[in-house]
Amino acid sequence: MAVAERVLVVTADEALARVACELFAAVTGGGVLRERDAVAGLETCARARPDAAVWDGDLPDPVDGALVARVRAYGAGMVVVVAAGDVTAGVRALQLGAEQFVAKPVSPDHLAAAVARAAEAGWWRLRGARADREVYRPRSLAAAEREQIEIALRHHAGNRTRAARDLGISRATLINKIRTYVLDL
């Protein structure tokens, strides 16, 4: 997912709200939600299930430190907007589980990139939960290469010249790889 389809903006700062809402209304085609306080933001997050939430770090946490965890539990990636120069608050938000933090005044490009990354992280998190804790286990390149060689050789009934042509390698290279992978075809 490269672009969030629904973005929740929770801030009492009108300048931040204007920048974020204009930006995400254009990007999402109108899928932007706005709340002015944290309690309403949590309720909207539970109801609307946004892809990402842009949260003003100046708002009080109504659930005693569990705000980020609650937003993440609803499947939203979280971007916390902190005061200019307040890196400590941003790092604290990251430690609590926020995907990104940006400092005020925030540029629209920087905010859009942070929200895209947060939405993608939320999407992967939800995908893992929905797949019954399916764990990503990458195959090695060697395993993928071996499989493609086997497929090409089967397709060409063992004809190494045709299989090599399909794979884009020389016949000699194919023979070396057959020896390396100990293929019996």
Task: Kindly report the pTM of this predicted structure.
Answer: 0.60
Looking at the fold, whether 47 and 79 belong to one and the same domain comes out as yes
CA–CA separation, 174 vs 85, rounded Å? 58
- How many separate domains does the chain show? 2
Residue 121 has pLDDT above 80, yes or no: no
Query: pLDDT, tens digit, for every residue of 50-63?
Result: 888 888 887 777 66
Looking at the fold, whether 45 and 114 belong to one and the same domain comes out as yes
Q: Is residue 2 part of a domain?
A: no
Looking at the fold, whether 24 and 112 belong to one and the same domain comes out as yes
Looking at the fold, whether 114 and 156 belong to one and the same domain comes out as no
40: domain CATH number? Answer: 3.40.50.2300
Looking at the fold, whether 58 and 118 belong to one and the same domain comes out as yes
Three-state SS for the chain is CCCCCCEEEECCCHHHHHHHHHHHHHHHCCCEEEECCHHHHHHHHHHHCCCEEEEECCCCCCCCCCHHHHHHHCCCEEEEEECCCCHHHHHHHHHHCCCEEEECCCCHHHHHHHHHHHHHHHHHHHHHHHCCCCCCCCCCHHHHHHHHHHHHHHHCCCCHHHHHHHHCCCHHHHHHHHHHHCCCC
Q: Is residue 30 part of a domain?
A: yes
Q: Which domain holds residue 162?
A: 141-181
Query: pLDDT, tens digit, for every residue of 4-50?
Result: 678 888 888 888 888 888 877 766 666 788 888 888 888 888 888 88
Q: Is residue 135 part of a domain?
A: no
Looking at the fold, whether 112 and 159 belong to one and the same domain comes out as no
CA–CA separation, 162 vs 168, rounded Å? 10
173: domain CATH number? Answer: 1.10.10.60
Q: Is residue 154 part of a domain?
A: yes
Q: Is residue 165 part of a domain?
A: yes
What are the angstrom distances between the C-alpha of 163 and each of 137, 155, 169, 175, 181? 29, 8, 9, 10, 16
pLDDT at site 130: 45
Q: How far is CA 142 from the centre of its chain?
A: 27
Residue 135 has pLDDT above 60, yes or no: no
